[in-house]
Structure 1
Amino acid sequence: MTGTHASGQRLYRLLVSFVFTLLVFNRWVVYNTPLDGLDGSWAIALHLARAAGLDYGTDFIFTYGPLGWYTTRLPIAVESWEIVLLDLVYVFHVYIIIWFVLGNQFSWLRYGIVAGLVTLHTLAAGTEIPFVFYFFVLAYLGYYQRTRRAWLLVGASVIAILSFYMKANVGLVSLGSLVIYALIQRLTGEMTSRHLLISMSSMAGLLALSVVLLPVQLGPYLVAQWHLIDSYNDVMYLVQNKRAILVSLLILGLSIGALSWPLYQLLKRGQLPGFLRREGVLFGLVALQLFVLFKESFVRADAGHIGFFYKYGLLPFTILALFSAHSSVRRWAVLPMILLALAAPKLVAYNWDSSFPYRWVSQAFSYGQDVWNPVRPSLVTNRMGFPVSWLNRLNQKRVDIMPADVALLYHHKLRYTPRPIMQTYQVTDAYLDSLNAAYYGSARAADYVVIAWDAIDGRDPFNDEPATKLALRTHYAVVDQQGDWLLLGKKPIRQTDYKAPFRTQVAQIGHSVPVRPADGCWQRWQIDCRYRPMGALQRLLFQPPSLHVELTYRSGQRDTFRTAIPLLKGGLLIGPHPRNLTNMSHFLQRRDQHLPGLASIRLLADTSLFYPTVHVRQYPLNLSGNGQPDYAD
């Protein structure tokens, strides 16, 4: 009778795990629909780069890597079986984790909590698959800590490599977590030298294999990703939803307090040193994952990113609830998960659906049918697009677009030939800008470039990618202007626009610096502005303090734009300053007399968070000369 009861328990656990897994998977079809706009454009660009065979790190650079197509899942240059294969990896790991969470003995409380958390995760809007793979890495390490089976270290390496090539910032932390865990466990005597060797060699071997199998140049890829990650913290912040962040900080504070209690009890019993030796590194990696998630959510604090904290904040605490050897730690780790579940519906957009409890049945059938005969949805857009005369000219030509609207090129079925950092808003420091500038001066550059006058987050459209703008002025000429777009074509005559620096000036934040043209009317100002310690700490833990540049024109008019330290260090173009697309056309055609004259600039910032003194290196630019366009017709 006992055996029959145990078999029934296992069957029930298997079925519930299966249903919960399908609810978490939550997919009807294999492919997503290509979308218009900023986010739709970078998603399309990832797939077009794959179709063109571009190498990541040299030809193409973005926060998502050569496996980033799995996060976007578009019917462009990706076979359905490739997506389904990674879906199986994802579903298998979700199933195993839910199986472990449900436990051997049925408990209404345990099953109820899991059902609530599955509901929260499924209905909360947004998805960040690389972060879930990061969680899988910690789950492997937690299970290794319980069982000491070497194959789990290999599994962690495989998943960490996958997350690294899906999205580099999350993947680097995944790989780093594996290295940190193995080294500290070996130093504390909790891991054998053999297991350390297995962990490190499997990761190194998989990295070496990936360089052969994937379109990536690993060295340049790592360098470029570091620049993207570091400067992202300065440039890409948004003013936060204060209510959401206060609630998140309250939850984190209560979580720290709750988990401190069992640690205090261990301290009183004299067991804390042994606990920290065995489990301290796992505790630290859980804290690191929470920090990464907090930064991911509240640096770019729009509605989509904020939701990640309340959707995925459950995952790090699950590691402690599953794999800690101490029952009190496992019990207290459930508290922050419940707090997140209670707070999220008030703060996060939800995809409410009354059919949620049973829709997994129709979803499973729909997904299975689509695997057998996948539907490939096309881009839907209501925009007018380019004029027919442009389309005739651009047919079969290599085309790039600035700042970001790749979806429009895809809509017109043009031959997309991107600069390395393919969206202007991602060009967040001088190194990245130099890659794009060098591209436009090379033989492989696009035959034509389409330009719109646009920027994100209140930045100056003219001083986004300043070196790239100079390269365009040098190597391209204006062909036409239609509506919101300029069309540029290549020039046969190319010249170098830079000279050696001629002057260094000391200035103060809040004080105007007059523009005094020398050696012609154009200069490039590289401004060395630095955080005070409190400003640097704010940047590290949350968001950087705000920084703006005010431009005063000779007419007395002013423009104020948001800027950031890496953008200032990269340099501002100082001279007659375009304020719209027509002005930009004059700049590119060297008709500087038609541009608004710039009288002074002023930095605006809180000097308790920035050092008030800045150093300005002023470079004269020789922008004279002209050439007739060569359109490679």
Structure 2
Amino acid sequence: MNKLYNSIIQKFTPYRILILFSVLLFLPKALIESPSGGVDPSWKISINMAIHQGLTFGKDWVFTYGPLGFLSTRVPAYIGITPLILYDIFTAGVLVYILRYTFKELNNTVKWFVVPYLIMMSTHNSETTFQLFTFFIFLVFHHYRTKSLFSLALATGISVLIFFIKLNLGIVASVILYCHLFLNIFSDKKSWIKMISFFGFHVLVTTLLGQILHVDLINYVRGALSIINNYNDAMFSVDFINLTARYAYFNVAIASVIIITLAIFFIYSLPTILKSHSDIFILLVMLFAWYLGFKQGFTRFGFAGMSYPFFYGALFVGIAYLFIQNPILKKRLGDVFMVFLFVSPFVSTGLGFSFNKITIPYQDVLFTNLRFQQQVSDQKNRVEYHIDSEIAKSFKGKTVDVVPYEIAYTFFNDLHYNPRPAIQSYQAYNNYLTSLNYEKYTSPTAPDFVLYTTVGPTDVQRYNFWGDSKTTLAMLQNYDYDTTTVSKDTLQIVRKRAKSLQLVKSDPKDLAFRLGEEIQVSQQNKLTWIEVKVNYSLWGKIMRVLVQPPVLRVKATYEDGTTEVFKAIISEIEAGMFLKKLQSNTEAEHFFRTRGQNKSITKLQFLQNHSGFQDDITAHLYDVSFQ
């Protein structure tokens, strides 16, 4: 008996206990996320409904997430919990593989405790793809140093997984993988057969999974690149600074410490880096990975994003530290890591030290009746989003979409969801995306009904009506007003016409004016469409790449002389918008009843903003009618 006891005790070495503890911290705190309503919950439901409806990703459904996005959202609708459990088993196994090497390489009990701390802090505002990306970076570096084919195989598989969960980061992972493979060929000519084999395997598996998961790969990538290109322009936010300035500037100050530390490291160490050729790849990938985390945190600046530049950033630096060979660089990078470690407890993540961060996984399973919890949540949402039964009867056997973003109405009323490709209007923020939606809504496959709500803006001062304006144009052209009903929101219901109206354009004009100049753009009783071209200045372009683009504001004067200031999104106004007022339920009903005869915006004035934009602006506009 004593021998058995001693044997068990001997197996529970400190590093094994820490590995187990780290895995428990890493696993999700809840097995599933119940479907609900709102901006983010709606697109999460939409992924699962798209799979259920057999839609083609990249063609029928265009978003930053892909057909395996449910592994990140953890919404089980139509999918079940089995894929989620299998995914957790896989990632836990990869984490154990990584930590075994990490703890042996560190060989220091004090350093070991840093690992579970960073895992704990990063997973409380976690995103599955960033967790996988962190694994991916480690495995690439591990193969780079050890030539472990198992690590390369895992890295290849994880990059494919990321590609079908969230494409924007999947593209980045694929590019890093390809660079790594060809770097290996360049440094070791004998390895070319193995590296080309892994390249071919990556392409083959991606292609086959694309077929299995109903993905139009070309348009899937094209759509994602379009979203990525203008994400900065449309989705950046200064609300955090305006509403909680003390927290915001405190985090900016901490980020400045990190940026200065990294800058000092690279500038001071540049001669050594140039001599240590084998370390250059690791340092460049580390810096790029941190930059992605920084952009993730500070583009849409808010509490939830702070884990990316600080805690994931610390992990990227720590991973690079493990694999740097030059002793001077290793020591200096260790000092950089210590700065990350020192400032990270002070980061304002919205959780605060009062929140118990050390929690066990799957609490919804362990401490509640999961099935009962789901039933209660479902019933609550079905009551909240209930559409009048008499009106819902008209949807029977028909297809439905929701504008601008409350897709939850289709799910909780069991409607046949038939979305426009760019599924939420705030996300259709450039000409490519809103044109996809226009083509859908004017095609034979257009949804039979559209539910329109005047929900609040995704950002303060963002004018919702200007988002996805070509969808609005298509609704006037191909739909008739049907009725208004009250559910959680007031819904304007429009019904597809038997025959689309012909769009007539009249009185076209081209205008050239300057920032700060007020111009006449429309008249009372005119439905005017305008496309405005505003260019960033050099400073604006630099800020767009480094952190956030500058804010462009526009002062709109209505036909009655009243004025309002909006945040103008340059890719959105370039795609075009109607010069009309639509902000209330009454205005929405009148707009669809009369095909756009709302109060006109008669004058526009684009306001100066810290030299972020070029002074010269051009616009093309014309009046719209329907026959």
TM-score by length of 2: 0.89
Q: 1:103 to 1:80 in 2, by over 3 A?
A: same
Residues 1:618 and 2:621 aligned together:
yes
Counterpart position of 2:3: none
Counterpart position of 1:601: 604
Could you tell me how far apart the structure 2 residues matched to 1:94 and 1:107 are? 19
Residues 1:280 and 2:280 aligned together:
yes
Question: What is the letter of the counterpart of residue 27 of structure 2?
Answer: F
Larger deviation, residues 169-178 vs 385-394: 385-394
Could you tell me how far apart the structure 2 residues matched to 1:396 and 1:228 are? 33
Counterpart position of 1:216: 215
Q: 1:561 to 1:191 in 2, by over 3 A?
A: farther
Deviations 1:152-174 (A, max 9, x none): 33322211111111111111111
Between the aligned residues of both structures, percent identity stands at: 21
| Equivalent residue for 1:253, pick from 249, 260, 264 | 260
Q: CA deviation at 1:619?
A: 3.3
Deviations 1:286-319 (A, max 9, x none): 1110111111111111221233323322221122
Could you tell me how far apart the structure 2 residues matched to 1:115 and 1:567 are? 43
Counterpart position of 1:586: 590
Could you tell me how far apart the structure 2 residues matched to 1:184 and 1:500 are? 58
Could you tell me how far apart the structure 2 residues matched to 1:319 and 1:143 are? 9
Could you tell me how far apart the structure 1 residues matched to 2:427 and 2:179 are? 30
Counterpart position of 1:296: 296
> Which 5+ residue runs of structure 1 have no aligned equivalent?
626-633
Paired residues of 2:428 and 2:434 also in contact (CA < 8 A): yes
Deviations 1:314-343 (A, max 9, x none): 221122122222344444434444433443
Q: How large is the Cα RMSD of the aligned pairs? A: 3.0
Paired residues of 1:481 and 1:487 also in contact (CA < 8 A): yes
Question: What is the letter of the counterpart of residue 474 of structure 2?
Answer: A
Could you tell me how far apart the structure 2 residues matched to 1:624 and 1:209 are? 46
| Equivalent residue for 1:486, pick from 457, 481, 492 | 492
| Equivalent residue for 1:551, pick from 553, 556, 567 | 556
Paired residues of 1:150 and 1:198 also in contact (CA < 8 A): no
Counterpart position of 2:325: 325
Larger deviation, residues 509-518 vs 8-17: 8-17
Paired residues of 2:15 and 2:112 also in contact (CA < 8 A): no
Q: CA deviation at 1:571?
A: 1.0
Could you tell me how far apart the structure 2 residues matched to 1:311 and 1:362 are? 22
Counterpart position of 1:242: 249
Question: What is the letter of the counterpart of residue 430 of structure 1?
Answer: N
Residues 1:45 and 2:46 aligned together:
yes
Could you tell me how far apart the structure 2 residues matched to 1:588 and 1:365 are? 47
Q: CA deviation at 1:499?
A: 4.1
Paired residues of 1:524 and 1:620 also in contact (CA < 8 A): yes
Could you tell me how far apart the structure 1 residues matched to 2:393 and 2:605 are? 45
Paired residues of 2:532 and 2:573 also in contact (CA < 8 A): yes
Partner secondary structure for residue 394 of structure 2: helix
Counterpart position of 2:122: 121
Question: What is the letter of the counterpart of residue 510 of structure 1?
Answer: G
Question: What is the letter of the counterpart of residue 139 of structure 1?
Answer: F
Paired residues of 2:139 and 2:154 also in contact (CA < 8 A): yes
Partner secondary structure for residue 566 of structure 2: strand
Could you tell me how far apart the structure 1 residues matched to 2:330 and 2:372 are? 43
| Equivalent residue for 1:521, pick from 523, 526, 547 | 526
Q: CA deviation at 1:13?
A: 2.6
User: What is the count of residue pairs matched by the alignment?
Assistant: 605
Counterpart position of 2:140: 141
Could you tell me how far apart the structure 2 residues matched to 1:393 and 1:167 are? 36
Q: CA deviation at 1:230?
A: 0.7
Paired residues of 1:31 and 1:374 also in contact (CA < 8 A): no
TM-score by length of 1: 0.88
Larger deviation, residues 197-206 vs 471-480: 197-206
Q: 1:328 to 1:103 in 2, by over 3 A?
A: farther
Counterpart position of 1:99: 100
Paired residues of 2:479 and 2:495 also in contact (CA < 8 A): yes
Counterpart position of 1:631: none
Counterpart position of 2:88: 87
Larger deviation, residues 249-258 vs 219-228: 249-258
Paired residues of 1:259 and 1:332 also in contact (CA < 8 A): no
Could you tell me how far apart the structure 2 residues matched to 1:127 and 1:90 are? 14
Could you tell me how far apart the structure 2 residues matched to 1:96 and 1:535 are? 44
Q: CA deviation at 1:424?
A: 0.8
Q: 1:375 to 1:579 in 2, by over 3 A?
A: closer
Counterpart position of 2:509: 503
